[in-house]
Structure 1
Amino acid sequence: MTRPFYVAVSAGGSAALLAGAYLFQALGYPPCAICLWQRWPHFAAIVIGVLAWKLGGRVLPALGALAAATTAGIGVYHTGVERDFWEGPSTCTGGGSLDGLSGADLLTITGPNIVLCDQVTWELFSLSMASWNAGASAVLVIGWIMAIRANDA
């Protein structure tokens, strides 16, 4: 296989994971703060993939691998927060503060939509969305490494 093939598959994998995240959001599973953090490296990987497709070389696929590894790492961190392996940010966990919310926000029936980072809202085979993102992103790292090792043409 050629480098452009692996680049397309790896960047396309990030696009697919983002599409899945937005689909879940449209289905009524709003993202927490850490979920949003996991999306940024995927956006970067897509941009890197487009550039690598056009420009070739090994540097951009290496950056793609770094982006995929970053979102995989954030996914592992998020899974640990969800499973109470370690503390998450105080701004989005059950013990978090309500800074920035007024008394009126707290007393309204509709109120603000607070999504906690330490709560699993959906899972499949006992794995949360964060866990699935971590695993899939780790596979994408392998794809990017294959792109680094492959020939340009």
Structure 2
Amino acid sequence: MILTPLLNRWRLAALVVSAAMLATAHAFQTFGGYQPCTLCLRQREVYWVVGTIALAFMFLVRLPGGARFRQLTCWILGLGFLVSFAVATYHAGAEWKFWPGPSTCSSAGSAGVSAQAMQDLLNGAKIKPPACDQVVWSLFGLSMAGWNALISLGLVGLSALAALNERSKP
């Protein structure tokens, strides 16, 4: 099977994918000027957690007796990617107006970066984050949240395949 090398190193692959997703999000912010909304930040938090867990699992399975946890670690990583899928789907649904987004980030705009905005911030004004229900970038009709949902769903499937692959090992 062409995926076998990837599935044999799934904990490492999950760590690399999580880091790549975070790097992509930060690149959109840094180089594209797209400020993250509240749900964008939640999606990033999931990848931080999954990446951290993947790293810990890489050590766990190498401990004496740790090999017995190899299949379980893949299922747990799959659960983490399922959470990522859920958060991204919720975000994409809010963008498509299928359901309301969180009240902390609705379409009301955000304060621009100006001298007055900075002074207002120093005086204690609250600056509203970008709206979660507005698509600011899309490719082939899918927003960043939509692409994240598709990628996360694929990662859930790969995690399940990796778990089944671990089960077939002696």
Q: TM-score range by the shorter chain?
A: 0.7 to 0.9
CA deviation after TM superposition for structure 1 residue 31, in Å: 0.3
- Point out the more displaced range, 57-66 or 16-25: 57-66
**Alignment gaps of 5+ in structure 1:** 102-107
Residue by residue, what CA displacement relative to the aligned partner does 1:60-104 show, whole Å, maximum 9, x if unpaired? 2222111111011111110010011111111101269x9xx9xxx
Relative contact order, higher structure (CA 8 A, sep 6+): 1
- Point out the more displaced range, 60-69 or 6-15: 6-15
Compute the TM-score of the two structures, normalised by the length of structure 1. 0.83
2:15 corresponds to 1:11: yes
CA RMSD between the two structures: 2.8
Q: Which residue does the alignment assign to 2:65? A: none
Compute the TM-score of the two structures, normalised by the length of structure 2. 0.75
Aligned residues: 147
Runs of 4+ in 1 over 6 A off after TM superposition: none
- Point out the more displaced range, 51-60 or 116-125: 51-60
**Alignment gaps of 5+ in structure 2:** 62-68, 121-126
2:134 corresponds to 1:119: yes
Larger Rg: 2
- Cα distance 1:4–1:54, how it changes in 2: closer, same or farther (>3 A)? farther
CA deviation after TM superposition for structure 1 residue 113, in Å: 6.0
2:62 corresponds to 1:47: no
